[in-house]
Amino acid sequence: MKQLLKENSKWKNVGWFFRILFMIFALTPGCLTTLSDGLDGLHVEMVFLTMGVGAVCWITKDESLRKNRWLHVLCAFFAVTTVMGTSYHEQGSWNYVFGNFAQFLLALVVMAGYYNLYESLIALGAYVSEHWEGVRRREIKGKIENFIFEAHPFWSTFAIAMLCALPYMISFFPGPIQADAFEQVWKYMGIIENSNKHPVVSTAIMGRCLAFGRVVLGSDNLGIFTYTLIQSLLQAVGISYLVCVMKKMKAPVWIRWFGLLFLTVFPLFPMWGFTMVKDAQYYISLLYFGVSFADILVDGTEKKKWWKQIVFLCASYGMILCRKEGRYLLVCALICLFFYHKKQWKLYLFTAVTGFMILFYIEQIYMPAHDIEEGRLAEGLSAPIQQTARYQRDHGAEVTEEERAILSELFDDYDQMGTAHYSPEISDAAKDQMISHPTKEQLKNYFKVWFAQFCKHPDTYFQAFFNQTYGYFYTDRKDRLGTPIIETTVGREQLSMEEFYMEIGFPPQLKGMREFLIGMIHFVTQFPLISLLYNAGFHGYLLLGYVVYLLGSKKGKRILLIVPTLLVFAVCILSPVNGELRYMLPVMIMLPLNLTWCAYQERESVAEKEEK
């Protein structure tokens, strides 16, 4: 320690002292409201934690790491979004930052503290990764690791996945049904008008499973269970395939353990995999897409096997048939994969052409023949509609008669849109006010008004957008329903034929077991550190961390490999709900594979250095 003090100049030591002070202040509860409310009291444990982190990072600081300009950009972004997120979470506005000049200066001080904190944590992580052999270990040790990750990676993972899912499958038989899935089944049954709001193929799969149970097996419950069981099996197979590919890529052992535990043992994917919901179809397809490409890339053309290409094709079709945005994601992903690995260009071209043909048949031939309408245009306009609603709330008196006439023609209850129908973090109520099928002229006039109002009050538009999206970049936001899993997936305990048009329901004898599992899920998802894995903002930070890591390691081209995940995240930002974990499931299930990509890059870099 004394030697380090001698090596560092006096001003560097003073600067480090102030950095620790900034971190302590940033972590002080209520620090952003000190101008009006005073300090809310120091949390002593947070102070000691900050000082400990600062001291450790001072001893282990890596100057070469801090020369990475992308690292500084990343830490600055994290600091800004943390402060802005706090402001929107507590105030519903950016007043903690732009309330007045003095508040702005206070926010800058807090941002400086968070900047130093994030930089120190990253430096500590880099030090641990470099000096702790356990993080870099790739060799398998012990009988358990050898059995799971080397001798029988597929079947051992499959058995673990199904064993962990079994309690949910028994107690929540025939399977939870998410709200959108109810609507899809009703469309298939003809109870409500069918449309392409939810992809027709996804709807047909759910509906036919229900019909199979009702007609062939004589039970709606068995029809739902047919669907949820098949989906659970497909998920377990996909996770097992991932573990096998991680073995081929010689991923560090800790990533293999993390991937196994996160995807099979922890109570997220076992539950969602057993839930009737189109989001599960989508994230399972994306998992197969990413893993099959990794398998093809690692084996190369010399070990090419036809079944891997079949898996890649089927996964691509699943992405475009289960979610509308899947088509755009697939096109961008295929372009990126072409630039990264051109040897498989025939596979990419065939996938794109056949995928286009499938979509053309469904949307231009099948849907018109069965009188299936396109979904409402409002579903893709969450951001501008929210901005229009907030403008009406904050500046309704400034709306001209001409603007009101145009907006009232497009929205059913425009005059009440900013009060009765505007929710800052979910756009459903505002979107529902838009007419189902506006004309091109109506849309043209609307966007003229939209742009004119933006020019008058751009800050209102920015605030509406940030208030709708901050949850994807803020790690301290609580889920709008209180927990990231239960309320959004389990549905109601009692389901009746009169209300849901189906004779379905959970076994009443197992209510105690369901309550126990729900309590266990609450405990795990709120456990320190582990709770971050169930936070949309944390996964947003991880994604940006991948990008900065690859840029800093001079392997920026490998960013193309995580483009599918980045595109899914971009769609989440434009989604109708802020920080919705259900939309983040594709990002989350790709976490082990993305970590493996980064570790694979590091292994190749080391191999290149050894060859030189």
Q: Which residue ranges make up each domain of the chain?
A: 2-131, 377-435+438-462
Q: Is the pLDDT of residue 491 over 70?
A: no
- Please tell me the predicted confidence (pLDDT) of residue 370: 84
Residue 378 scores a pLDDT above 80: no
pLDDT at 120 over 90: no
Torsion of CA 284, 286, 287, 290, to 10 degrees: 160
Question: CB burial class (10 A; 0-12, 13-18, 19+) of residue 41?
Answer: exposed
User: Is the separation of the CB atoms in 176 and 491 below 8 Å?
Assistant: yes
CB within 8 Å of 400: residues ≥ 6 apart: none
Asked whether the predicted pLDDT for residue 284 surpasses 50, the reply is yes
Q: What is the pLDDT of residue 525?
A: 80
The two structure tokens encoding residue 157: 């993972």
What is the C-alpha to C-alpha distance for residues 155 and 477, in angstroms, rounded to an integer?
Answer: 38
Higher-confidence residue of 191 and 607: namely 191
Closest among 478, 587, 592 to 526, alpha carbons compared = 478
Average pLDDT over residues 353-375: 88
Q: What is the pLDDT of residue 608?
A: 45
Highest mean pLDDT of the ranges 68-72, 165-169, 516-520, 522-526: 165-169
HEC string of 437-498 equals CCCHHHHHHHHHHHHHHHHHCHHHHHHHHHHHHHHHHCCCCCCCCCCCCHHHHCCCCCCCHH
Pair 516, 506: CB distance under 8 Å: no
Contact 258, 529 (CB under 8 A): no
The region of weakest confidence among 207-221, 294-308, 341-355 is: 294-308
Higher per-residue pLDDT: 300 or 162: 162
Distance CA(599)–CA(597), nearest Å, equals 5
Q: How many CA atoms lie within 13 A of 262 on its CB side?
A: 21
User: 67-76, 119-128, 233-242, 495-504 — which is least confidently predicted?
Assistant: 495-504
Residue 589's pLDDT band (boundaries 50, 70, 90)?
very high
Winning range, highest mean pLDDT, from 1-5, 193-197, 238-242, 434-438: 238-242
**Among 12-16, 123-127, 386-390, the least confident range:** 12-16
Query: Given this model, what pLDDT does residue 32 score?
Result: 64
Q: What pLDDT is attached to residue 65?
A: 60
Percent of all residues in the chain with a pLDDT value above 70, rounded to a whole number: 82
Q: Which residue has the tokens 């099959």?
A: 292
**Which of 263, 238, 259 has its CA nearest to residue 314?**
238
Residue 282 has pLDDT above 90, yes or no: yes
Least confident range of 448-462, 510-524, 596-610: 596-610
Instruction: For the beta carbon of residue 134, count every other beta carbon within 10 angstroms.
Output: 9
Helix (H) or strand (E) holding 566: helix 563-573
Q: For position 71, what pLDDT does the model report?
A: 84
Residue 610 pLDDT more than 50? no
Work out the pLDDT band at 535, boundaries 50, 70, 90. confident
Report, as an integer, the average pLDDT of 538-558: 83
241-255 burial, b if ≥16 CB within 10 A, otherwise e?
Answer: bbbbbbbbbebbbeb
- pLDDT above 90 covers a percentage of the chain that reads 34
Report pLDDT digits (tens) over 326-358: 899 999 999 988 888 888 888 899 999 999 999
Q: CB-side exposure of 158: number of CA atoms within 13 Å?
A: 11
| Rounded (5°) CA angle 457-461-465 | 165
**Three-class SS of residue 52?**
helix
The helix (run of H) or strand (run of E) holding residue 204 is helix 200-215
CB 252 within 8 A of CB 601: no
d(CA 176, CA 228): 9
Cα 610 to its chain centre, rounded Å, is 37
Q: What is the pLDDT of residue 334?
A: 92
Nearest to 118 by CA among 173, 73, 158: 73
Picking from 526, 535, 533, the residue whose alpha carbon sits closest to that of residue 592 is 533
Please state the rounded mean pLDDT for residues 511-530.
83
When pLDDT is averaged across residues 443-449 and rounded to a whole number, the result is 91
- Residue 76 to residue 479: CA distance in whole angstroms: 25
Give the per-residue pLDDT at 18: 60
**pLDDT greater at residue 484 or residue 424:** 424
Better-scored residue on pLDDT, 608 or 440: 440
Contact assessment for residue 567 and residue 575, using Cβ atoms and an 8 Å cutoff: no
How much is the mean pLDDT over the chain?
82
- pLDDT(500) > 90: no
pLDDT at 24: 60
Backbone angles phi, psi at 562, to 5 degrees: -105, 10
Contact criterion met (CB below 8 Å) for 351 and 359? no
Is-above-0.85 flag for pTM?
Answer: yes
Please report the pLDDT score of residue 496 as a whole number.
47
* 3-class secondary structure, 177: strand
Indicate if the pLDDT at residue 294 is higher than 70.
yes
Which pLDDT value is given to residue 559?
83
